[in-house]
Amino acid sequence: MSNHLTPTELAHEVGLDRQEVIEKCLEMAVPIYQGHIDKSLFLTTLREQSQESRQAA
């Protein structure tokens, strides 16, 4: 299983739109390197962000 995916592949795996994945990467400072995103980094950062937003509420 590959860990570096295109935005389209990652969107398919996490259930988001391609554009949402790109926006989240920009928002969370997850790099898109040569058109690929580190899946583990993206998911870890996404989980941390959702936990922080729940704690703030």
CA–CA distances in Å: residue 12 to residues 5, 19, 54: 10, 12, 25
Residues 6+ apart with CB under 8 A from 20: 11
User: Does the pLDDT of residue 1 top 80, yes or no?
Assistant: no
CB-based contact 18:7 (threshold 8 Å): yes
Which residues form the domain of 43?
A: 4-56
pLDDT in tens, 2-56: 799 999 999 999 999 999 999 999 999 999 999 999 999 999 999 999 898 888 8
What pLDDT is recorded for position 7? 98
Count of domains observed in the chain: 1
Enter the pTM of the model: 0.89
